[in-house]
């Protein structure tokens, strides 16, 4: 599921490559457990605003991943002392991240070779 381009910043943002959103979320959560907006913000910041993920794509993706057992959830307080649902990577999620990263790099390398040929 691709993220929608941000209408406020049409030049700076870009569509996510099909099927990569879950990999990016896994990567983001690999460092620490986060709540929904935290994930969205981190993806936006690290991609320097190229990818913006809105709630309509993020939450269904997280729901799917929870069902697949890649993340588990927990309600706890934020820094500002709000109750929030935190998503945390499971062992299975880590294996999925490793697998997807490897797949992705193989594909990128292959695409690069084709483009350079």
Give least dist CB 78 to other proteins, A: 8
Give least dist CB 53 to other proteins, A: 9
Choice between 12 and 69, CB closer to other proteins: 69
Instruction: Strand 71-77: give its sheet, edge to edge.
Output: 34-35, 83-89, 71-77
Choice between 69 and 109, CB closer to other proteins: 69
Q: Cα 86 vs. chain centroid, distance in angstroms?
A: 14
Choice between 37 and 106, CB closer to other proteins: 37
Alpha carbon distance 22, 11 (integer Å): 24
Give least dist CB 69 to other proteins, A: 5
- In the complex, the residues that contact other proteins under the rule CB under 8 A are 7-8, 35-38, 40-41, 52, 54-56, 59-61, 63-64, 67-69, 78, 82-85, 92
Tell me which H or E stretch contains 77.
Answer: strand 71-77
Q: Could you tell me which residues come within 8 angstroms of residue 92 by beta carbon, excluding any fewer than 6 positions away?
A: 68, 69, 70
Choice between 77 and 109, CB closer to other proteins: 77
């Amino acid at each position: 599921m691709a993220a929608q381009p941000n209408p406020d910043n049409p030049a700076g943002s870009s569509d996510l490559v099909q099927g990569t959103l879950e990999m990016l979320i896994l990567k983001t959560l690999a460092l620490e457990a986060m709540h929904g907006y935290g994930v969205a913000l981190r993806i936006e910041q690290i991609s320097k605003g190229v990818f913006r993920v809105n709630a309509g794509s993020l939450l269904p993706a997280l729901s799917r991943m929870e069902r697949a057992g890649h993340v588990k959830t927990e309600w706890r307080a934020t820094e500002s002392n709000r109750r929030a649902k935190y998503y945390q990577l499971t062992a299975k999620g880590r294996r999925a991240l490793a697998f997807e990263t490897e797949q992705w790099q193989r594909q990128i390398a292959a695409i690069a070779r084709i483009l350079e040929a």
